[in-house]
Amino acid sequence: MTIKEYVAKQKQLLCIEVEGLQVKPSFVIIQVNDDPASDSYIRGKIKDAGEVGIEVKLDKLSPTISEEGLLKVVNKYNNDPKVHGLIVQMPLPKHISEDRVKLSVNPKKDIDGFHPLSHLNPCTPQGIIDYLESENIAIEGKSALVIGRSNIVGKPMAKLLLNKNATVTIVHSRTKKDDLLNLLARADIIVVAVGKKWFVSEEPLKESAVIIDVGINRVDGVLYGDVKPERNVALQTPVPGGVGLLTRLRLLKNLLEAYYEICNN
């Protein structure tokens, strides 16, 4: 199934699940920036939530708000029993500590999976694992290559693949070109999350390889992935219409998990 088909089907199932709930699941997005990319991500999250019957509120704060001011707002939602999930959209203004804010979110409501005590995993890597499993793509024993080591994608992706018993290698901006080429040529599963248009282009790959392209690179108004399209491999996720949809779907699923945890306790 393509990612679009998979996400549409999963959303139908979520819609039915939410319809059967007495209390409507709800989450809050706190935005403290004027970043157009964030605006676009947030629009996507609000649209998805609406489609499956989940309530969402956007609380847009001035980028000049103090750290203490933001923490107070976070705390208000942490303690509001009608709110089951809480997202503080990144990036934050420079005068606010990202770590402090991430640690301030009630771990039970942390649907981004950013808090070390959160029971949930970050949405992009977990969404990718969900899709690989839905396609019956074996992970155990496979050689997985993760390109990029961000806290949101690369590192948690490597951890989740490792937990599924893949043999995982992480490469990054300081990796030797030769090493990268050798690893690419041997990898069964390749996750590319470096944020550079067509970072992987013509390098030799296995025909049986699965490529997951996490890149969203806007150049002159056009979106490009981190991988040149239509490589000769078993599966390559498209950009747009690929991993972004998986991330958004996983956010809804994380919210429902948080909802059950909060409402059943």
Closer to ligand GUN by Cβ: residue 93 or 175: 93
Closer to ligand GUN by Cβ: residue 91 or 141: 91
Long-range contacts of 104-108 (CB under 8 A, 24+ apart): 104/71, 104/74, 104/75, 104/78, 105/74, 105/78, 106/78, 108/258, 108/261, 108/262
CA distance linking residue 74 with residue 80, whole number of Å: 10
Residue 113 beta carbon to ligand GUN: minimum distance, rounded to whole angstroms: 9
Closer to ligand GUN by Cβ: residue 98 or 261: 98
Catalytic, 89? Answer yes
Q: CA triplet 30, 250, 34: central angle to 5 degrees? A: 30
| Residue-by-residue DSSP string for 132-172 | HHHTT---TT-EEEEE---TTTHHHHHHHHHHTT-EEEEE-
CA distance linking residue 47 with residue 38, whole number of Å: 14
Taking CB under 6 A as the rule, does residue 123 contact ligand GUN? yes
Query: Among the options 10, 31, 45, 48, which is catalytic?
Result: 45
Residue 89 beta carbon to ligand GUN: minimum distance, rounded to whole angstroms: 5
Q: Of 89, 104, 106, 237, which one interacts with ligand GUN (CB under 6 A)? A: 89
Q: What is the CA radius of gyration of the chain?
A: 19
Q: Residues binding ligand GUN: what is the number (CB under 6 A)? A: 7
* Three-class DSSP category at 3: helix
CA distance linking residue 124 with residue 207, whole number of Å: 25
Q: Of 71, 87, 190, 249, which one interacts with ligand GUN (CB under 6 A)? A: 87
Taking CB under 6 A as the rule, does residue 74 contact ligand GUN? no
Residue 158 beta carbon to ligand GUN: minimum distance, rounded to whole angstroms: 17
Binding mask 30-59 for ligand GUN (x = CB under 6 A): -----------x------------------
Catalytic, 31? Answer no
Pair of tokens at residue 100:
């402090």
For ligand GUN, the binding residues (CB under 6 A) are 41, 87-90, 112, 123
Residues marked active site are found at 45, 89, 112
